[in-house]
């Protein structure tokens, strides 16, 4: 300050204005700062006006007025600057010049404005501009509020969008099948929970599709990457097919992939969503089913048993295997196109239906045996096992060919009945033998006792009678024993079969019986009787017995005759010996063939003759029977012999 004081005073001889303030600093600086600030403000205002007119608003009328105003304000500014300077430096001359210029400019402006004022007031646009301004601001207000509404709406939409986006994310995340969103730069954008759960990998494990393919596909990685690469060019969803992926746990899973384009990410990358269906279990089941089906097919093919499905309502087999052809000779087509009841033997149909009805009524399974028609018209025994197929009117039925079992069953039954017959025969034999042998013994014992008494009494007539009785009993017993022996030999001690002419045999018998045959008896023997292949001695005994019987039971026939014939009927030859003797009442036609049976107690004989004949015929596989119109009408004896070829 000191420098200022001294220098300024020395230069002009005037005192700086500061002296007026006694160099009171606060007062001094207040004046200085106010003057400088005002000056600066005037400069700026002037500059605005000039700039506004010259640069921006050339169309404004009376622009020179604005320049004038600018100059005027600029000069005002200069005077204020000068005011600040004069506080320190006493440039009062220069300050006076400036004030004068300022006054001139101000006065000029004021003078200029006087004539200009009415013209300015007459400017038409001003009010309008003011009005326009109001309108505009109203419109602006409307626009702004519209804009605000729009902004709000946008915000709302954005909010909704965000909400729906988060819903979508949640849907994707919680979807029950694996999903991955990935970008074209290989980044994995998102993995859902199913993906993590099934594969075992989290997004941290597989940040990129590279890592994923490497981990999940191993060596096949390159191929899969190629497939993935093509996905980004997609415009619509695509089915990719099945891939075998390896999980984090090392399990192999079969995934069926579908991918779809998902637009662009915020940073402009193309996105793809890939969805997978884990079909491992399904494939596994399919494989098992396939195996089971194949096994069943081959079982059906090789099974010796019929395996079938039958519909019990329609009455048809709907399915069956090759075994029907093997067993019945019917083709599968024939078997399934014929109502099954027609294939069953008429005698077995009712029984079969009854069993099927049991299934219909809820019984789980049945087994039965019936006869099925074969292609060749014969019937075969089948043993069935059948069970219901739930919720269907079909049954599952399996059958085996039990013909041979049935046959051996029949053979066994036949054998049993033969054996039973034999047993009965033996029982009868024992019974008869014991009974009939006891008879003569009782006689002998009895008459020996009588003999003693009669001898003691000296009754010679009675003694002779007793002896005669004893003798007769002994003879009877001897005959009986001989015949029993003969009987037991038949079938036990057989001779070799040989050819024997029936005519020759009969000739021999007649020769043997010559003594006991009455002369008047006529034989009528068919001249060309067959040659037999038989146990010759037994057949000789047979003819002897039969001819003897015919002679014995001739009665008092005046013209007795015996007629011998052979009559071929088909395979069977029936031999007959007919007489016109006393005949046999029908009631005894069977009884006479029993052991020790004799119808007439008055005629000699043990009753063994026809029993022996029957035994011989049966040993030759034949049958013997008789026909007689009754007593007095004669008797015809018939018998057959089984054909037995030489060498058998």
Partner 1 sequence: MNGEAMNILLVEDNMAHAELVKRSFEEHSLANKIQHVRDGEEALNYLFQREKYADAESYPLPHVVLLDLRLPRVDGLEVLKQIRMSEKTKKLPVVVLTTSAAETDAARAYEFHANSYLVKPLDFDQFSSLMKDLGFYWLAWNHFPWS
Which residues form the interface with partner 1 (CB under 8 A)? 431-432, 434-436, 438-443, 445-450, 469, 472-473, 588, 596-602, 607
Q: How far is CA 461 from the centre of its chain?
A: 106
CA nearest neighbour of 347 among 326, 369, 362: 369
Query: Do residues 51 and 74 make contact, with C-beta atoms less than 8 angstroms apart?
Result: no
In Å, what is the CA distance from 96 to each residue of 3, 79, 99, 218, 219?
Answer: 24, 9, 5, 99, 101
Task: Select 301 or 438, whichever has its Cβ closest to partner 1.
Answer: 438
Q: What is the edge-to-edge ordering of all strands in the sheet holding 238-246?
A: 188-191, 179-183, 270-278, 252-264, 238-246
Q: What angle do CA 306, 310, 314 make, to 5 degrees?
A: 150
CA nearest neighbour of 83 among 102, 64, 67: 102
Q: How far is the CB of 490 from partner 1 (least distance, A)?
A: 23
Task: Select 310 or 592, whichever has its Cβ closest to partner 1.
Answer: 592
Task: Select 447 or 533, whichever has its Cβ closest to partner 1.
Answer: 447
Q: How far is the CB of 577 from partner 1 (least distance, A)?
A: 22
Q: How far is the CB of 469 from partner 1 (least distance, A)?
A: 5
Separation between Cα atoms, residue 239 and residue 257, nearest integer Å: 6
Q: How far is the CB of 468 from partner 1 (least distance, A)?
A: 10
Q: How far is CA 379 from the centre of its chain?
A: 34
Q: How far is the CB of 626 from partner 1 (least distance, A)?
A: 16
Query: Do residues 344 and 370 make contact, with C-beta atoms less than 8 angstroms apart?
Result: yes
Strands 522-525 and 561-569: parallel
Q: How far is the CB of 632 from partner 1 (least distance, A)?
A: 15
Task: Select 269 or 598, whichever has its Cβ closest to partner 1.
Answer: 598
Q: How far is the CB of 424 from partner 1 (least distance, A)?
A: 12
CA nearest neighbour of 203 among 183, 185, 187, 225: 187
Query: Do residues 33 and 23 make contact, with C-beta atoms less than 8 angstroms apart?
Result: no
Task: Select 513 or 599, whichever has its Cβ closest to partner 1.
Answer: 599
Task: Select 89 or 596, whichever has its Cβ closest to partner 1.
Answer: 596
Task: Select 433 or 525, whichever has its Cβ closest to partner 1.
Answer: 433
Separation between Cα atoms, residue 38 and residue 21, nearest integer Å: 20
Q: How far is the CB of 445 from partner 1 (least distance, A)?
A: 5
| Sequential DSSP letters for 560-583 | -EEEEEEEEETTEEEEEEEE-SS-
Q: How far is the CB of 416 from partner 1 (least distance, A)?
A: 22
Joined tokens for residue 366: 């049945």
Task: Select 329 or 555, whichever has its Cβ closest to partner 1.
Answer: 555
Task: Select 274 or 432, whichever has its Cβ closest to partner 1.
Answer: 432
Farthest-apart Cα atoms in the chain, separation = 235
Q: How far is the CB of 560 from partner 1 (least distance, A)?
A: 23
Joined tokens for residue 396: 């599952």
Separation between Cα atoms, residue 208 and residue 181, nearest integer Å: 11
Q: How far is the CB of 528 from partner 1 (least distance, A)?
A: 39
For residue 179, list its beta bridge partners.
Answer: 275
CA nearest neighbour of 399 among 368, 378, 423, 440: 368
Residue with tokens 């400017």: 123
Query: Is the alpha carbon torsion for 543, 545, 547, 550 positive or negative?
Result: negative
Q: How far is the CB of 477 from partner 1 (least distance, A)?
A: 11
Q: CB count, 10 Å around CB of 444?
A: 18
Q: How far is the CB of 318 from partner 1 (least distance, A)?
A: 60
CA nearest neighbour of 35 among 82, 70, 69, 72: 82
Q: How far is the CB of 615 from partner 1 (least distance, A)?
A: 20
Separation between Cα atoms, residue 539 and residue 495, nearest integer Å: 11
For residue 188, list its beta bridge partners.
Answer: 182
Which residues fall within 8 angstroms of residue 506, CB to CB, at 6 or more apart? 525, 529, 543, 547, 564
Task: Select 203 or 455, whichever has its Cβ closest to partner 1.
Answer: 455
Task: Select 295 or 452, whichever has its Cβ closest to partner 1.
Answer: 452
Task: Select 181 or 595, whichever has its Cβ closest to partner 1.
Answer: 595
CA nearest neighbour of 474 among 506, 435, 448: 448
Q: CB count, 10 Å around CB of 56?
A: 9
Task: Select 237 or 471, whichever has its Cβ closest to partner 1.
Answer: 471
Task: Select 524 or 590, whichever has its Cβ closest to partner 1.
Answer: 590
């Amino acid at each position: 300050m000191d420098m200022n004081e001294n220098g300024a005073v020395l230069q002009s001889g005037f005192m700086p204005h500061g002296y007026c303030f006694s160099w009171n600093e606060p007062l001094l600086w207040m004046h200085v700062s106010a003057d400088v600030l005002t000056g600066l403000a005037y400069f700026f205002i002037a500059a605005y006006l000039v700039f506004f007119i010259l640069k921006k608003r050339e169309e404004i009328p009376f622009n020179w007025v604005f320049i004038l105003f600018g100059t005027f304000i600029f000069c005002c500014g200069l005077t204020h600057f000068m005011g600040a300077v004069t506080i320190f430096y006493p440039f009062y001359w220069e300050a006076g010049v400036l004030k004068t210029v300022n006054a001139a400019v101000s006065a000029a402006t004021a003078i200029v404005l006087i004539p200009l004022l009415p013209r300015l007031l007459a400017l038409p646009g001003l009010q309008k501009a003011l009005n326009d301004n109001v309108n505009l601001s109203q419109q602006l207000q409307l626009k702004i509020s519209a804009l605000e509404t729009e902004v709000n709406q946008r915000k709302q939409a954005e909010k909704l969008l965000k909400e729906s986006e988060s819903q979508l994310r949640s849907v994707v995340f919680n979807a029950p099948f694996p999903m991955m969103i990935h970008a074209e730069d290989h980044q994995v954008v998102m993995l859902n929970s199913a993906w993590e759960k099934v594969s075992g990998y989290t997004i941290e494990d597989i940040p990129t599709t590279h890592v994923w393919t490497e981990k999940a596909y191993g060596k096949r990685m390159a191929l899969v990457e190629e497939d993935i690469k093509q996905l980004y060019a997609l415009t619509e969803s695509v089915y990719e097919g099945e891939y075998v992926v390896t999980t984090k746990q090392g399990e192999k899973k079969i995934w069926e992939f579908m991918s779809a384009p998902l637009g662009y990410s915020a940073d402009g990358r193309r996105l793809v969503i890939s969805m997978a269906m884990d079909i491992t279990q399904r494939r596994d089941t399919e494989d098992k089913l396939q195996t089971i089906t194949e096994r069943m097919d081959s079982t059906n093919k090789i099974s010796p048993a019929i395996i079938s499905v039958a519909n019990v309502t329609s009455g048809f087999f709907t399915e069956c295997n090759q075994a029907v052809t093997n067993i019945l000779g019917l083709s599968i087509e024939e078997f399934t196109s014929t109502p099954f009841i027609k294939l069953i033997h008429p005698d077995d149909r009712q029984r079969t239906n009854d069993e099927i009805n049991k299934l219909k009524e809820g019984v789980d399974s049945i087994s039965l045996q019936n006869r099925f028609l074969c292609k060749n018209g014969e019937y075969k025994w089948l043993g069935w096992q059948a069970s219901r197929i739930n919720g269907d009117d079909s049954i599952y039925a399996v059958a085996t060919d039990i013909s041979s079992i049935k046959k051996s069953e029949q053979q066994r039954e036949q054998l049993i009945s033969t054996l039973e017959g034999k047993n009965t025969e033996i029982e009868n034999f024992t019974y008869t033998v014991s009974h009939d042998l006891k008879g003569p013994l009782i006689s002998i014992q009895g008459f020996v006792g009588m003999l003693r008494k009669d001898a003691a009494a000296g009754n010679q007539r009675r003694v002779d009678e007793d002896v005669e009785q004893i003798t007769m009993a002994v003879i009877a017993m001897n005959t009986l024993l001989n015949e029993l022996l003969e009987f037991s030999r038949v079938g036990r001690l057989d001779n070799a079969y040989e050819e024997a002419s029936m005519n020759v045999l009969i000739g021999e018998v007649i020769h043997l019986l010559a003594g006991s045959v009455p002369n008047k008896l006529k034989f009528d023997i068919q001249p060309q009787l067959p040659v037999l292949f038989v146990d010759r001695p037994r057949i000789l005994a047979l003819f002897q017995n039969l001819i003897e019987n015919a002679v014995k039971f001739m009665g008092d026939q005046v013209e007795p005759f015996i007629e011998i014939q052979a009559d071929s009927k088909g395979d069977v030859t029936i031999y007959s010996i007919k007489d016109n003797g006393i005949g046999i009442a029908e009631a005894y036609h069977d009884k006479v063939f029993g052991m020790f049976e004799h119808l007439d107690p008055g005629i000699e004989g043990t009753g063994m003759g026809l029993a022996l004949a029957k035994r011989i015929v049966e040993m030759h596989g034949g049958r013997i029977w008789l026909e007689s119109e009754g007593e007095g009408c004669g008797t015809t004896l018939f018998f057959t012999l089984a054909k037995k070829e030489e060498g058998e």
